[in-house]
Amino acid sequence: MSVPVVVTGIGVCASNGVGVPTFWDALREGRSGIAPIASFDASALRSRIAGEVRGLDMEQRLGAKVARRTARFSQLALVAAEEALEHAGLARGPAREEAAVVLGTGIGGFDMLEREHQAFLANGTSRFTPLTLPMIIPNMAAAAVARECGCRGPNLCVSTACATGAHSIGTAFDLLRSGRAHVAVAGSTESTISPFAIDGYCQLRALSTRNDAPAQASRPFSVDRDGFVIAEGAGVLVLETLAHAQARGAQPLAVLTGYGASSDGHHLTAPEPEARAAVRAMRMALADAGIGPTGIDVVNAHGTSTPLNDVIETRALHKVFGEHARRLLVHATKSMTGHALGGAGAIEAVASVLTLVHQIVHPTVNLCCADPACDLDFVPLTARAARVGAVMSNSFGFGGHNGVLVFSHPSTLPT
C-alpha cells in the first residue's frame, strides 16, 4: 500500500523574493528579479544581467561564524531550510533529530572557487581561504543544513544539473515511502554568478543578451526569446509521511503524489528533439500519482527561454496530454526568477505548492507574442484564479537528466 507523503513547510530564496510571502507576492504580481549584475563588474561580458538574490545580510541571518565557513550556495540553502522548518513547525531538538536531508546543487561553490583561485594565482601558495576546498564541494549545502538545523537522518546530495531540485525532492519522496525516514528536508540550491561561469554560458550561446531591458530578458515561449538569464537561489520543502504529520498535528500544504525520472542519452547540452525521455518521465510521474493526463490542471514548465527547450517541451506536453493539453494552464516561473540552474527545480516546486495553496496560477511574464510552435495556454502577463487540484512540475538538465514531480491538493488525501 502506498505511503502518502505531504508537504508541511516551504522556504525560498529567489531573485524576486526572499521568504515565501515576498516570493509569492512577486509571482502573483508578475515582478521580475532580473537586473544588471551587481556582485562584480560584468562590463566585459556579452550577458551582463542576472537574477541575483539581493538584500540578504548573511552574517546577520546565519551568524558570523557560519557565514564565514559556508559558500554562498550553502548560505542560500540554510536560509531557505530554516524558513521551511519553521513553517512546518518542527522546532529544534528531538522533532528534527531523525529528519533526512536531501539537498542538491548543480555545481557547488563555483563562485568561491574562482575567487580563491585568483588569490592563489596572484599571491602564491597558502594565501587563500584555508577552508576553500571543503566549502566549495557540492555536498556541503546538505551538510550545512544537517549541522545547523539539527537533522541527523540520511544526508544526501544530488547533482543532476537543472534537474537537481526535482531529483532531490523525488529522492526524499522515495526515502519516506520506503520507510528509511519519516520526515525530510528536501530541495536544491545554486550560486554561480561569476565572470568565468557566465562567460562559459555565453560561449555556448545559451544566455540572453537583452542587457538594456533585464526585466524583459527572460521570455519563455516567446517568438523573440534569445536565451536564459542566469540566476541564483534555493528552494526547500519539508516532506513527511502523512502518519508522521498527523501524529504531531501538522497541516499539509500539498501532497507529493508522483515522481518520474529519465535520461535523454542524447547530447551534452541539447534536449532530444522528439522529447521521448521527457515524455516518459512525465508519464512515469502520472502513473506514480495514480492519475491520468486529465487529472493535471497546471504545469509548471521547465520553460527556460531558450530556442530549443521551449519548443521541445511544448511538443512533449502535447504527446503526454493529447487533447487535454489545450485545457492545461502552463506557466514559467523562470520568466521572473531567471534560471537558477540546480536550484531552479526546487524553487519551482515551492511555486507549485503555492499554486495549490492559493488557487492562483502565476503568469508567464514577457509573453506578448508566443512562438507559433509553442501553442498552449501559457498564462501570459497576468495571474489567473483557477480551480487547481494537481500541478506537474518539469525539470530538464544538461546531460539529458529529466525529473518530473506531481503535487496534489490536500483534499485528495484519504479521510
Pairing, β 329-331 against β 298-300? parallel
Query: What backbone torsions phi and psi does residue 397 show, to the nearest 5 degrees?
Result: -125, 160
pLDDT at 201: 94
SS3 letters for 214-227? Answer: HHHCCCCCECCCCC
Of 247, 277, 312, the last residue of a domain is: 247
In a domain, 412, yes or no: no
Alpha-carbon Rg for the chain, nearest whole angstrom, is: 20
Same domain, 211 and 299: no
- Dihedral sign, CA of 134, 137, 138, 139? negative
pLDDT at 166: 98
Which of 75-79, 111-115, 260-264, 287-291 has the weakest average pLDDT?
Answer: 111-115
pLDDT digits (tens, 9 = 90+) for 28-63: 999 999 999 999 999 999 999 999 999 999 999 999
Pairing, β 100-105 against β 155-156? parallel
Total domain count, the chain: 2
Instruction: Determine whether 324 is an active site residue.
Output: no
Same domain, 9 and 155: yes
C-alpha cell at position 369: 507574442
Burial class (CB in 10 A: 0-12, 13-18, 19+), 208: buried
Same domain, 131 and 182: yes
Of 247, 269, 291, the last residue of a domain is: 247
Query: What backbone torsions phi and psi does residue 384 show, to the nearest 5 degrees?
Result: -135, 130
In a domain, 276, yes or no: yes
Instruction: Determine whether 358 is an active site residue.
Output: no
pLDDT at 415: 72
In a domain, 393, yes or no: yes
Indicate the SS3 state at residue 339. Answer: strand
Same domain, 242 and 162: yes
Instruction: Determine whether 157 is an active site residue.
Output: no
Which percentage of the chain shows pLDDT scores above 70? 100
Asked if residues 347 and 337 have their Cβ atoms less than 8 Å apart, the reply is yes
The rounded distance, in Å, linking the Cα atoms of 339 and 331 is 14
Query: What backbone torsions phi and psi does residue 263 show, to the nearest 5 degrees?
Result: -130, 135
Same domain, 235 and 334: no
Same domain, 275 and 352: yes
C-alpha cell at position 59: 552574517
Asked if residues 132 and 112 have their Cβ atoms less than 8 Å apart, the reply is yes
pLDDT at 125: 85
Query: What backbone torsions phi and psi does residue 330 show, to the nearest 5 degrees?
Result: -115, 125
* pLDDT at residue 213 is higher than 70: yes
Q: Which residue out of 182, 244, 302, 401 is catalytically annotated? A: 302
Q: Which residue out of 182, 244, 331, 339 is catalytically annotated? A: 339
Same domain, 57 and 140: yes
Please report, for the domain that includes residue 176, its CATH number: 3.40.47.10
In a domain, 217, yes or no: yes
- Provide the CA 389 distance to its chain's centre, in angstroms: 21
Count how many residues are written for the chain.
415
pLDDT digits (tens, 9 = 90+) for 85-101: 999 999 999 989 999 99
Same domain, 319 and 223: no
Q: How far is CA 19 from CA 46, 87, 189, in A?
A: 31, 11, 14
CB atoms closer than 10 angstroms to residue 266: 15
Asked if residues 339 and 231 have their Cβ atoms less than 8 Å apart, the reply is yes
Same domain, 207 and 112: yes
Query: What backbone torsions phi and psi does residue 83 show, to the nearest 5 degrees?
Result: -65, -45
Q: Which residues pair with 184 in a beta bridge?
A: 100, 239
Asked if residues 211 and 126 have their Cβ atoms less than 8 Å apart, the reply is no
Same domain, 108 and 148: yes
Return the biggest CA–CA distance within the chain. 66
Q: Which residues contact 173 (CB under 8 A, 6 or more apart)?
A: 5, 186, 239, 256, 259
Q: Which residue out of 162, 182, 362, 401 is catalytically annotated? A: 162
pLDDT digits (tens, 9 = 90+) for 123-143: 988 888 888 888 999 999 999
In a domain, 229, yes or no: yes
Domain that residue 102 falls in:
5-247
The rounded distance, in Å, linking the Cα atoms of 13 and 407 is 21
Mean per-residue pLDDT, 191-195: 96
In a domain, 414, yes or no: no
- Provide the CA 297 distance to its chain's centre, in angstroms: 20
Q: Strand locations in 92-132, DSSP E?
A: 100-105
Same domain, 274 and 377: yes
pLDDT digits (tens, 9 = 90+) for 354-370: 999 999 999 999 999 99
27 DSSP assignment: H
For the chain, count helices (H), then strands (E): 15, 15
Same domain, 59 and 154: yes
